[in-house]
Chain A
């Protein structure tokens, strides 16, 4: 298909070239850069740049109306010297980009697209639970019999209760404000709402009695909708960890944003432990040395292929990871990068792909998967929207070397993003179960998948 090359495309291509060179020069990252940008299972078909129609948005969405040139005269005749000068005006491909929202209603169990998901050889994927609209972050109780699931666009926290071989889904709390983050410790469920952290003591004893009322333990966090939803985890130091993201796609902001916090389990002792973070929606600790690793999502609208999402490592308190001045360790921001040097910030240990939305991540600490997975990181990549040919939409393993650096990235579960450039599911968070299997939440289908490995049964589906 022939398409006129706009100035914008050329700009993007130039940026890509520049950055490729930069990446190649940065030895640490050159090894995994190709893996990040071309996973083995990536679909090769011609992209259909229309936004993904939701599988069951209760209604079939109307087809996108044809985009025709706007009636007004070209921008360069309107405003000489305007910031639009080098911007693609009504670029056909770009005008078809739009964020892909999760369907508001969970997909029925018998309609889940399990046949389209592909697990790596020897692995099996199955439905663990369905009917949990907007299933986001995962947590579990001590014996793994109760799984907690948070919401981002809705208001509930759910529990999947395993009892006598049956699974029941219960609402643990409702009427919450973007309760994306969940964590569990010593009988207490911790919930991260958009602007506060809550807890429910003794949560397991009352699961049958209907929704419970959380107690706020950290009030008054920023209320920004952009990157305000939070991932929540409890570290080996027995403290709560959560982020306050940047209050926009790419903005200068105060010290209360773009940071990772930690606090005691009772909410006291709130402190900032890292800065320069745009939006992390996943972190975990290296079981070898307890260093904190986190994903961070790169900015939108810079170009189709840049910047990459990041996988970062904190080696000491107070490190600055560069946002919004420096992206992926080697690209100064075109607007805010002036006067800043990427060398002054901590670079990522791995590039997770452009607009990939690398979200939940866990070190694999189970014993079910083959030894080569052990103590490597498994990351859910929700998948892009700010990119014509979508990228991500999978669960991958990032190899972590003995020195804590990252090696290759390889696909573990693919198929959430189909060759026709549409999503049929989107992975949000991962969690290692007591038996060594892996749960994967999916906010598109409102489901939780289970990935297991059977060395005797090598058929992959």
Chain B
């Protein structure tokens, strides 16, 4: 299973276009990795469906200007104008929202995750349904391993936010809690 995921990821990277193409030309490559229906099937690649367009604009700008380093996104965003960033963000925000992880759930973990969401006030900025608002991203239904990676990155300062909101709130969260948070957020129905 893991091998298949790795192979898929390699496949989607293979279709990366050369830089300096238009929005229409680049979009198929974006969706090849991130998923045409807004739902990523690739390990480590986030789902982007119904993502907040303002958040996407800021992230693309950060990739373009090397304020956030994440292969291959810095190359993908290279040379995009501010208008093009906006166009991408608009298109991405209109993709269908990712579906929560299906199948049987561990009720105790869901309860712990939900409690942690409230204890750490994730629901204040990301809203009660975790769909985000403006510069605060939708996290509901995001890939579980991506959520873990993002939270660990904020905690060890390797993930650079546009501002320090996440860096401010993660210090008291343990790694065990990060796993429960990601488990819950990936499965919560928004």
**What is the predominant secondary structure among interface residues of chain A facing chain B?**
loop
Contact check, B57 vs A248: say whether CB atoms are below 8 A apart. no
The interface residues of chain A lying within 8 Å CB-to-CB of B129 are 65, 67-68, 70
Contact check, A248 vs B54: say whether CB atoms are below 8 A apart. no
- The B19-55 residues at the A interface (CB cut-off 8 A) are 52-54
The interface residues of chain A lying within 8 Å CB-to-CB of B124 are 94-95, 97-98
Contact check, A87 vs B170: say whether CB atoms are below 8 A apart. no
Residue of A nearest to B165 (CB): A99
- The B109-168 residues at the A interface (CB cut-off 8 A) are 110-112, 114-115, 118-119, 121, 123-125, 127-129, 131-136, 154, 157, 160-165, 167-168
Chain B nearest CB, measured from A301 CB (Å): 7
Contact check, B189 vs A67: say whether CB atoms are below 8 A apart. no
Chain A nearest CB, measured from B100 CB (Å): 10
Contact check, A248 vs B172: say whether CB atoms are below 8 A apart. yes
The interface residues of chain B lying within 8 Å CB-to-CB of A54 are 54, 134-135
The interface residues of chain B lying within 8 Å CB-to-CB of A79 are 111-112, 115
Contact check, B125 vs A69: say whether CB atoms are below 8 A apart. no
Question: Which of A201-209, A221-229, A362-370 makes up part of the contact surface?
Answer: A221-229
Contact check, B82 vs A72: say whether CB atoms are below 8 A apart. no
Chain B nearest CB, measured from A158 CB (Å): 15
Question: Which of A56-64, A261-269, A402-410, A415-423 makes up part of the contact surface?
Answer: A56-64
The interface residues of chain A lying within 8 Å CB-to-CB of B89 are 59
- The A31-84 residues at the B interface (CB cut-off 8 A) are 51, 53-54, 57-59, 61-62, 64-65, 67-72, 75, 78-79, 82-84
The interface residues of chain A lying within 8 Å CB-to-CB of B65 are 154-155
Most A C-beta atoms less than 10 A away, residue of B121, B131, B160, B170: B121
Contact check, B57 vs A175: say whether CB atoms are below 8 A apart. no
In Å, the complex CA distance between A148 and B45 comes to: 40
In Å, the complex CA distance between A57 and B83 comes to: 10
Number of residues on chain A facing chain B (CB within 8 A): 52
Q: A19 at the A/B interface (Cβ < 8 Å)?
A: no
Chain A nearest CB, measured from B91 CB (Å): 11
Contact check, A84 vs B157: say whether CB atoms are below 8 A apart. no
Residue of B nearest to A65 (CB): B131
In Å, the complex CA distance between A175 and B69 comes to: 12
Q: B90 at the A/B interface (Cβ < 8 Å)?
A: yes
The interface residues of chain B lying within 8 Å CB-to-CB of A101 are 58, 135, 162-163
* Partner of A61 from B53, B67, B157 at Cβ < 8 Å: B53
The interface residues of chain B lying within 8 Å CB-to-CB of A96 are 127, 133
Residue of A nearest to B156 (CB): A223
Q: A171 at the A/B interface (Cβ < 8 Å)?
A: no
Contact check, A251 vs B172: say whether CB atoms are below 8 A apart. yes
Chain A nearest CB, measured from B182 CB (Å): 16
The interface residues of chain A lying within 8 Å CB-to-CB of B157 are 223-225
Contact check, A58 vs B57: say whether CB atoms are below 8 A apart. yes
The interface residues of chain A lying within 8 Å CB-to-CB of B85 are 58
Q: A89 at the A/B interface (Cβ < 8 Å)?
A: yes
Contact check, A248 vs B168: say whether CB atoms are below 8 A apart. yes
In Å, the complex CA distance between A101 and B62 comes to: 13
- The A231-290 residues at the B interface (CB cut-off 8 A) are 247-249, 251
Asked whether A98 and B133 contact (CB < 8 A) given A90-B128, A247-B171, the answer is yes
Asked whether A98 and B111 contact (CB < 8 A) given A58-B86, A69-B128, A251-B172, the answer is no
Most A C-beta atoms less than 10 A away, residue of B86, B160, B168: B168
Contact check, A104 vs B57: say whether CB atoms are below 8 A apart. yes
Chain B nearest CB, measured from A87 CB (Å): 7
Contact check, A98 vs B125: say whether CB atoms are below 8 A apart. yes
Asked whether A104 and B61 contact (CB < 8 A) given A58-B86, A67-B128, the answer is yes
Residue pairs across A and B with Cβ atoms less than 8 A apart, 12 shown, are: A53-B134, A54-B54, A57-B58, A64-B127, A68-B128, A72-B188, A78-B115, A83-B119, A98-B165, A104-B162, A249-B169, A251-B172
11 extra interface residue pairs, beta carbon distance < 8 Å, beyond A62-B52, A64-B134, A69-B128: A51-B133, A58-B61, A59-B53, A59-B54, A64-B133, A82-B119, A95-B123, A224-B167, A226-B164, A227-B164, A248-B170
